[in-house]
Amino acid sequence: MAHIYVAFFAFIVGALMGLLQGLVRGGMIELPSWLGYYQILTVHGVLLALVFTTYFIFAFLFAGGSRTLGAMPDGIRKLGWIGFWVTTIGTLMAAVLILAGEASVLYTFYAPLAAHPLYYVALTLFVVGTWIAGAAVLAHYFGWKKANKGQKTPLFGFMATATIILWIVACLGVATTVLLQMIPWSFGLTDSMNVLLSRTLFWYFGHPLVYFWLLPAYMAWYVCIPKIIGGKLFSDSLARLAFVLFLLFSIPVGFHHQLMESGVSEFWKFVQTVLTFVVIVPSLMTAFSIFGTFEQTSRLQGGRGALGWLGKLPWNDVRFFAPMMGMLIFIPAGAGGIINASYQMNAVIHNTLWVVGHFHLTVGSTVVLTFFGISYWLIPHLTGRKFTPFLNRLGMVQTWLWAIGMFFMSGAMHLMGLLGAPRRTAYTTYQDHPTAMAWFEGMFTNYITVAIGAVILTAAALLMFYNFIYMVWLAPKGETEFPVSEPSSDASTTPAIFENWKLWIGIVALLILFAYTIPVYDMIVNAPPGSPVFNNLIK
Residue 375 burial (CB < 10 Å; 0-12/13-18/19+)? buried
Our CB check for ligand HAS shows the closer of 155 and 209 to be 209
Handedness of CA 486, 363, 369, 91 (dihedral sign): positive
Our CB check for ligand HAS shows the closer of 68 and 298 to be 298
| Residue 204 appears among annotated catalytic residues | no
330 in contact with ligand HAS (CB under 6 A):
yes
| Residue 381 appears among annotated catalytic residues | no
Element (H, E) at 461: helix 447-469
Handedness of CA 457, 458, 460, 464 (dihedral sign): positive
Q: DSSP states of 503-518 as a string?
A: HHHHHHHHHHHHHHHH
Our CB check for ligand HAS shows the closer of 58 and 84 to be 58
Handedness of CA 111, 116, 118, 123 (dihedral sign): negative
Residue 502 burial (CB < 10 Å; 0-12/13-18/19+)? exposed
Select the span of 6-14, 141-149, 339-347, 369-377 touching ligand HAS (CB under 6 A): 339-347
Task: Give the whole-angstrom CA distance, residue 514 versus residue 518.
Answer: 8
| Residue 423 appears among annotated catalytic residues | yes
Query: From the list 116, 232, 240, 256, which residue makes contact with ligand HAS (rule: CB under 6 A)?
Result: 256
Sequence letter at residue 179 = L
**Which residues ranging from 190 to 209 are in contact with ligand HAS (CB under 6 A)?**
none
Residue 144 burial (CB < 10 Å; 0-12/13-18/19+)? middle
Task: Give the whole-angstrom CA distance, residue 300 versus residue 298.
Answer: 5
Instruction: For the CB of residue 83, give the shortest distance to ligand HAS in the complex, in Å.
Output: 23
247 in contact with ligand HAS (CB under 6 A):
no
Kindly name the residue from 44, 67, 360, 381 that is annotated as catalytic: 360
257 in contact with ligand HAS (CB under 6 A):
yes
Kindly name the residue from 256, 257, 319, 358 that is annotated as catalytic: 358
| Residue 376 appears among annotated catalytic residues | no
Instruction: For the CB of residue 150, give the shortest distance to ligand HAS in the complex, in Å.
Output: 33
328 in contact with ligand HAS (CB under 6 A):
yes
**Which residues ranging from 69 to 108 are in contact with ligand HAS (CB under 6 A)?**
108
Task: Give the whole-angstrom CA distance, residue 460 versus residue 484.
Answer: 28
| Residue 424 appears among annotated catalytic residues | yes
Instruction: For the CB of residue 332, give the shortest distance to ligand HAS in the complex, in Å.
Output: 9
Task: Give the whole-angstrom CA distance, residue 63 versus residue 51.
Answer: 18
Query: From the list 276, 445, 480, 485, which residue makes contact with ligand HAS (rule: CB under 6 A)?
Result: 276
Sequence letter at residue 239 = A
Tell me phi and psi for residue 355, to 5 degrees: -65, -40
363 in contact with ligand HAS (CB under 6 A):
yes
Long-range contacts of 518-525 (CB under 8 A, 24+ apart): 518/268, 519/200, 519/255, 519/264, 519/265, 519/268, 520/197, 520/200, 522/265, 523/194, 523/196, 523/197, 523/200, 523/263, 523/264, 524/194, 524/197
163 in contact with ligand HAS (CB under 6 A):
no
Query: From the list 297, 346, 458, 467, which residue makes contact with ligand HAS (rule: CB under 6 A)?
Result: 346
Our CB check for ligand HAS shows the closer of 221 and 504 to be 221
Task: Give the whole-angstrom CA distance, residue 340 versus residue 291.
Answer: 26
# binding residues, ligand HAS (CB under 6 A): 32
Closest-CB residue for ligand HAS? 334
Handedness of CA 261, 264, 265, 268 (dihedral sign): negative
Task: Give the whole-angstrom CA distance, residue 220 versus residue 482.
Answer: 11
Our CB check for ligand HAS shows the closer of 79 and 210 to be 210
Instruction: For the CB of residue 447, give the shortest distance to ligand HAS in the complex, in Å.
Output: 20
Query: From the list 128, 350, 382, 420, which residue makes contact with ligand HAS (rule: CB under 6 A)?
Result: 350
**Which residues ranging from 206 to 225 are in contact with ligand HAS (CB under 6 A)?**
210, 213-214
| Residue 140 appears among annotated catalytic residues | no
Select the span of 11-19, 152-160, 170-178, 324-332 touching ligand HAS (CB under 6 A): 324-332
Q: DSSP states of 337-400 as a string?
A: HHHHHSHHHHHHHTTBHHHHHHHHHIIIIIIHHHHHHHHHHHHHHHHTB---HHHHHHHHHHHH
119 in contact with ligand HAS (CB under 6 A):
no
Report the candidate in 197, 175, 177, 103 with the shortest Cα–Cα distance to residue 535: 103
283 in contact with ligand HAS (CB under 6 A):
yes
278 in contact with ligand HAS (CB under 6 A):
no
140 in contact with ligand HAS (CB under 6 A):
no
| Residue 211 appears among annotated catalytic residues | yes
Instruction: For the CB of residue 526, give the shortest distance to ligand HAS in the complex, in Å.
Output: 24
Instruction: For the CB of residue 249, give the shortest distance to ligand HAS in the complex, in Å.
Output: 10
Query: From the list 290, 391, 409, 451, which residue makes contact with ligand HAS (rule: CB under 6 A)?
Result: 290
Our CB check for ligand HAS shows the closer of 52 and 359 to be 359
Task: Give the whole-angstrom CA distance, residue 104 versus residue 95.
Answer: 11
Kindly name the residue from 77, 299, 350, 423 that is annotated as catalytic: 423
Helices within 46-101 (DSSP H only): 53-69, 74-99
Which residues are at the interface with ligand HAS (CB under 6 A)? 108, 210, 213-214, 256-257, 276, 280, 283-284, 286-287, 290-291, 324, 327-328, 330-331, 334, 337-338, 340-341, 346, 350, 355, 358-359, 362-363, 367
Q: Which residues are catalytic?
A: 207, 211, 358-360, 423-424
